[in-house]
Chains A and B, each alone.
Chain A
Amino acid sequence: MNALIVVYRESFEALLIVGLLWSFLNRQSADKRGYQALLVGALGGLVLALGLGVFINQAESEFEGLALEIFQLAMLVLAVVLMTHMCIWMRKHARTLKSELESGAQQALSTGRFWSLTLLTMIAVAREGSETVIFLYGLWMESVEKSQTGAFIGLSFAGLVLGVVTWYAFQHGFKAFSQRTYFTVSTALLFVTAGSLVVAIARKVISLGWIEVGTEPAWNSEALLSDQHPVGSFLNLLTGYHAQPAIFVVLVYAAYWAVAVTLYRQAGQPATVRAS
């Protein structure tokens, strides 16, 4: 059963980010290069996930452990920057892209944009994928011992299928929305997901021992909604919710939203002026 749950959760997390990017492209009827960028990113992410998985399993020394954590931290920071930047870029160009397309002009997605699409997909897939690789490898070893390899493959495959189905339902739900609502909702989702990565970053900083103040919980909402509760763990997956978040984590999270909202507002201003 563990195989099903872990694969499901990890594949859904990766698909959430990749899926949002994909539907952004879809909505804007972007040219082929956008999808190619996603595909290259996904494949690169799988390779990186395998490499990371093997490295984590083999890591002996504390130095290797530290190097790995710093690498993961850098990946997270890069993902947050890319996602935030992408939301703001979309906000700026949502209208111009559409009108350019309608007037038959060649769409001008710069090469840099494709690179960030590729990188972001790669990180999303590698981050969730490496955990899956490590977990499945361990489980595989055990199922070989107990000769339950059939159940193992079946359950992990079922997990993956469930992940894809959930994501598809999620995406399909979007179709009912108008173009405008769609952009608002998916941008909000991207920001929320970036926020959950910010929580992961702040927690990593604490666990690396780089900060010693503000590590105690800011509050305790365990009785209200615990991390283990199905709703709590879904919120944790989507938003980074914790029942007892450290003060430092809360502050960093609040700071991220303050910066993100300010940048987003600024990006929206010229567009509103033009429209009026």
Chain B
Amino acid sequence: MKTVLTSFCMILALMASSALAQEMAVHQIVLKDHKFEPSVLKVKAGEKFKLEVKNEDASTEEFESNVLNIEKFVGPKKTLKLTLGPLKPGKYPFFGEFHQSTANGVIEVEE
């Protein structure tokens, strides 16, 4: 009985998580040679979304956005996963704290 219940719960949880995953758009930004690609990311307004920051450099970077209150480390060859939004239309700049002169970008939120 216990196993049946557990597996039932697991299926429910799986369904719930896949439903959530379907709803949320996933955007990826790659950091290479201390530059973000894409440096301009277009996102729909009023929706939650996932942002993955993949660091392909050999050094740790600190992914920062003043407007979005983000300040997080991304280790070398690692990926930072964030859930953001819902955001109002506008421009939300971000940067790499350790290489501010090159590692710059902006999330453009549009209707």
Contacts and interface: CB of A to CB of B under 8 A. Distances in A.
B66 A135 contact: no
B61 to A, nearest CB: 8
A206 interface: yes
Interface in B59-105: 59-62, 66-67, 69-73, 75-76, 78, 81, 83, 88, 98-101
Contacts of A215: 69
B75 A56 contact: yes
Nearest to A242: B66
Interface in B10-58: 57-58
A201 to B, nearest CB: 11
A97 interface: no
A146 B1 CA distance: 63
Contacts of A6: 98
A77 B38 CA distance: 36
Q: What DSSP secondary structure best describes chain B's contact surface?
A: loop
B66 A244 contact: yes
A56 B69 contact: no
Given A62-B81, A216-B88, A57 B67 contact: no
Interface residues of B, number: 23
Interface string A121-159: 000000000010011011101100100000000000000
A141 B71 contact: no
A135 B60 contact: yes
Contacts of A204: 71
- DSSP majority for the A interface? helix
Given A62-B81, A135-B60, A203 B71 contact: yes
A207 B60 contact: no
Given A2-B98, A2-B99, A207 B71 contact: yes
Interface in A213-244: 215-217, 227-228, 242-244
Interface string A95-122: 0000000000000000000000000000
Nearest to A246: B69
A131 B62 contact: yes
Nearest to A145: B58
Contact of B69 (A57, A131, A249): A249
A243 B101 CA distance: 19
Interface string A198-216: 0000011011010000011
Contacts of A138: 57-61, 76, 98
A106 to B, nearest CB: 46
A70 interface: no
Given A56-B73, A244-B66, A141 B99 contact: no
Contacts of A209: 83
A59 interface: yes
A207 B59 contact: no
A227 B83 contact: no
A34 B14 CA distance: 58
Given A56-B60, A249-B69, 6 more contacts: A131-B62, A135-B59, A206-B69, A227-B66, A243-B66, A244-B66
9 contacts: A57-B60, A57-B75, A134-B73, A135-B98, A137-B59, A137-B60, A139-B59, A206-B69, A207-B69
A-B pairs, 3 with minimum CB distance: A138-B59, A206-B69, A203-B69
Interface of A: 2, 6, 56-60, 62, 65, 131, 134-135, 137-139, 141-142, 145, 203-204, 206-207, 209, 215-217, 227-228, 242-244, 246, 249
